[in-house]
Structure 1
Amino acid sequence: MEKAGAPPPPSLQVQYESLALEAALSTLLAVALYSALKMSVDGIRHWRARVSVLVVGAGPVGLTAALVAVRSGKVLKLTLLDERSRAALLCRAQQIALDPRSVRFLLGLGVDFDNMEGCWEQEHFFTKIGVFQEHLLSILEQHKRRLAVHILLGTKFSDDFLKKNLVSNWPEIIVLADGSRGESSAVLGISPEYIVESCNAYGANAVIERPDQRQVPTPEIRAHSLYFDLSAYGMDMSAMRKESPKPGFHLKIYGTFRNRYLALACPASDSKMVRFLRHTLNSSIMKNVFHQSFNAYKMDIEPRVNELTLHHIQCSARLFEIMLSHRRVTAAFIDGDNVVVTVEGEAARVLNFDTGCGVNLGLIGLESTEELIYKVATAMDQHDIFEALAAKIRHSKQVVEDFKQNGLFTTMFE
């Protein structure tokens, strides 16, 4: 007779261990099957997930945002609208400069620079805004064959448009890219407040308009460490020479020969020349500075500015502090209609100093748009939506910080 508490016979011990092993294996198998099934279901759901997107604004940033949307593979329906007509968009002759980062981004979206009027210079691409917009519109129209792409030009985004088109059929994502003067944010109730911050630099701008010159893309010209003889205006040059050496001014000439733009900038300092040019009441001083600078650094094949053509120059009266304005709210969620809104381009960030690279700042902001579309399309609940919005807001803030630290250096001071 077995004693109480004695271990079971070896045969029973083996059976217990076998049963325990079978139970553990069954549990592991069930967990593995559940995980595999869930992954399969989630994978199918993610693969099939699609959203509708509305882009407001058909400028360079809005068209690029639309192209990001259709290339994401997560958009079932895209609507692009702009209050300007197609002719008004495509006849824009202003030149834009696309830096290497923007070029790489656009190449990834299928932009074919070889089939676009423009010119290359040190990995930068220069073209007219109208030409750029026409190329992107043609790419979007090609996507009509596989998904619903609606391009509504000559259509204003307004309360009336909302009532007629979106009351019962809101898109999941709205991209607002209608520029710094656009009204779409106000229509959706997005806060109009801007944060204005210094870029720790001073600058001035000028434009030379000459209708008799060519309207073709032209590489930009840069000159550095410039100093100006202002003794004719009472500036004591001998006193200036006694100051400790400081970096001079940086000049950029850009745009077409017909619409020539000049940007002059320097890091913030308290040098006598900077103080003089910031506070002078004589507006002809800056015109003379730009006049002499242009003639010294222009391309050889373009005409000089002389006393007879000096009236063609329009410029800042004096140096001003370069400021970057950016919206407090660049992404939002319209709760009642479950719509994600993101603000892009100059509608979100605008510089009070035209360096000819404003488009680049806008395109950098679009680099996180595909991720936003994917996260919204595959979201399970509002928590996922807010996570997507938080990531977009972080990227928007990073764009601002990067420009404040490095933007003027790369666009003007290099």
Structure 2
Amino acid sequence: MERYETLVYDTVLSTLVAVLIYVLLKVSVDGYRQWRARARVLVVGSGPVGLTAALIAARSGKVERLVLLEERCRTALLSRPQQIALDSRSVRFLLGLGVDFDNMEGCWHNEHFFTKVGVFQEYLLSLLEKRKQEMNIQILLGTKFTEEYLKKIPASEFPRVIIVCDGSCGESSSVLGISSDYIVESCNAYGANAALERADQRQVPTPEIRAHSLYFDLSAYGVEFASSSKEGQGSQPSALKSGSHLKIYGTFRNRYMALACPMSDSKVVKFLRHTPNSSIMKNIFHQSFNAYKTDIEPRVNDLTIHLLQCSRRLFEIMLSHRRVTAAYIEGDNVVVTIEGEAARVLNFDTGCGVNLGLNGLESLEEFIYKVATAADQNDVFEALSGKIRHSKQLADDFRRNGLTVTMFQ
């Protein structure tokens, strides 16, 4: 009996040792496989979102070869004068990617960094070009993403991950056979935009100007106006959401304005929604600009009013976002993620639109890691599912809170 118990004990011990050795070997092999795993990545589009996506891929440590494709030439890419405002969330995210704002032309205000699109793109390009010494990075400016381009890629160099960042008018998704079906949702607000270009002014980034709870007396146009509210009531959220909200941003040469108000059926809002008289909105922007501009820039007067271009009337502010923001192309074993304006578009320019695109990139490094280290299709589908959930969450959050942050506060 004692001999039998000893045999059982030895058998159990041997089995446990064998299982432990197997587990240790499997963990070691899986760990080594994941450590060695690399994926070929193609980024389509080198706007602010595309360049940031390329920088994330380069820093992920999971890229065997990175190709950045851009239809425009370098001069056209870097000469864009529009100003962007990077909010505090984007600033923190970019700092984590090694962006040094002290070495970029721009200015700070209320934890926002204001710079020109071309300046931002040039800085990110310089970071990528420095990384070319460490890894296989190819930057192809002046090259369009087409079916012919894909056919010319050798099988050994075909990308495993394609990141589409070619903007709202891009065609890359259709080239890849991905549906262009969009969900269009109201942001429960009305808005209008204006632009003022003055060639005699400086092209230097400036902080934005905001004015809250504005009321426009349109009695001269036959619209009754009555309100006890005063401009400047900004301490309470209820006061902030009353009236209209103005933002002036951009450089002194390229000035942009955005006007927004919560959706309502007030007489003034109804009138500005449906009036056929385009000069009324121009007059509102004209007067608002002169009232809230910086002290050192010139007023808009009768001689310069023709430089002001604006919306004809208030329009409903909408958020459009793709139903499909990530996909798996089974025949080619390729995963695709769609980012920036190619994934979601707000039809209302406030200078902060780039932040919505950058927020979508917060899950990109994890996505690349999961795809590069995937052992089978289940792992790939798990990575795609996580990316799709993040994209949907971004759209939901912005629809609920986006305008409150970018315009109403």
1:302 paired with 2:297, answer: yes
Q: Conserved in 1, the CA contact under 8 Å of 2:40 and 2:157?
A: no
Q: Which residue of 1 aligns with 2:329?
A: 334
SS in 2 for 1:380: coil
Aligned-residue identity in percent: 74
- Match of residue 344 from structure 2: 349
For 2:9 and 2:197, how far apart are their aligned partners in 1? 86
Match status 1:97 vs 2:85:
yes
Instruction: Tell me how far 1:54 sits from its aligned partner.
Output: 0.3
Residue in structure 1 matched with residue 235 of structure 2 by the alignment? none
Pick aligned residue for 2:100 from 87, 104, 112 = 112
Counterpart Cα distance in 1 of 2:51 and 2:149 = 20
Deviation at 1:166, TM superposition (A): 5.1
Could you state the TM-score of these two structures normalised by the residue count of structure 2?
A: 0.95
- Residue 307 of structure 1 deviates from its aligned partner by 1.7
Q: Which residue of 2 aligns with 1:254?
A: 249
Q: Which of 322, 327, 333 is matched with 2:317 structurally? A: 322
CA distance in 1, matches of 2:357, 2:225: 42
Secondary structure of the 1:237 match is coil
CA distance in 1, matches of 2:26, 2:210: 58
Deviations 1:27-65 (A, max 9, x none): 222221111111111110010000000001011110000
Quote how far apart the aligned CAs of 1:91 are.
1.1
Q: Secondary structure of the equivalent of 2:143?
A: coil
Q: For residues 199 and 345 of structure 2, what CA distance do their matches in structure 1 show?
A: 29
CA shift for structure 1 position 162: 1.6
1:49-89 deviation per Cα after TM superposition (whole angstroms, max 9, x unaligned)? 00000001011110000000000000010000101011111
Amino acid at match of 1:61: V
**How far apart are the structure 2 equivalents of 1:402 and 1:267?**
17
Map of 1:360 onto structure 2: 355
> In 1, distance between residues paired with 2:136 and 2:69?
14
Q: Any idea what SS the aligned residue of 1:117 has?
A: coil
Residue 175 of structure 1: SS of its match in structure 2?
Answer: strand
Name the SS of the counterpart of 1:333 in structure 2.
Answer: strand
In structure 1, runs of 5+ residues without a counterpart are 1-11
Match of 1:144 among 132, 155, 161: 132
The match for 1:46 is: 34
Question: Gaps spanning 5+ residues in structure 2: where?
Answer: 230-237
Structure 2: which amino acid aligns with 1:173? V
Structure 1 distance, partners of 2:292, 2:157, is 56
Cα distance in 2, alignment partners of residues 166 and 208 from structure 1:
49
* Post-superposition offset of 1:167: 5.8
C-alpha distance in structure 2 between counterparts of 1:403 and 1:294, whole Å: 27
Match for residue 58 of structure 2? Answer: 70
Q: Pick from 390, 393, 396 the counterpart of residue 398 of structure 1.
A: 393
Residues matched between the structures, number: 400
- Corresponding residue for residue 33 of structure 1: 21
Deviates more, 1:94-103 or 1:228-237: 228-237
Alignment of 1:187-226 (within 5 A): 187-226=175-214
**What one-letter code is carried by the residue in structure 1 that aligns with 2:399?**
K
| Structure showing greater Rg | 1
2:78 matched to 1:83?
A: no
Distance 2:281 2:160 in 1: 50
2:288 corresponds to which of 289, 293, 305:
293
Q: Kindly provide the amino acid, as one letter, of the partner of residue 322 in structure 1.
A: I
Alignment match, 1:376: 371
Shift, 1:22, TM fit: 2.8
Encode CA deviations 1:105-162: one digit per residue, 9 max, x unaligned.
1111111111111101111101111111111111101111121100000111112212
How far apart in 1 are the matches of 2:206 and 2:78?
19
CA-atom RMSD, angstroms?
Answer: 1.6
1:186 matches 2:174: yes
For 1:93 and 1:291, locate their aligned partners in 2 and report how far apart those are by CA, in whole Å. Answer: 22
Distance 2:288 2:154 in 1: 53
1:411 match: 406
1:241 positional shift? 6.2
Give me the whole-angstrom Cα distance separating, in 2, the residues matched to 1:169 and 1:191: 26
Q: Is 1:153 the equivalent of 2:141?
A: yes
CA distance in 1 between counterparts of 2:211 and 2:385 reads: 41
For 1:148 and 1:156, the matched residues in 2 are separated by 20
Structure-2 separation of matches of 1:109 and 1:398: 23
Counterpart code for 2:201: Q
Aligned-partner Cα distance in 1 for 2:351–2:45 = 20
Q: More deviation in 156-165 or 382-391?
A: 156-165
1:23 matches 2:7:
no
Range with bigger deviation, 274-283 or 338-347:
274-283
Change beyond 3 A, Cα 1:300–1:216 = same
Contact 2:225 2:268 survives alignment (8 Å): no
Q: Distance in 2 between matches of 1:164 and 1:375?
A: 27
| Matches of 1:307 and 1:160, distance apart in 2 | 53
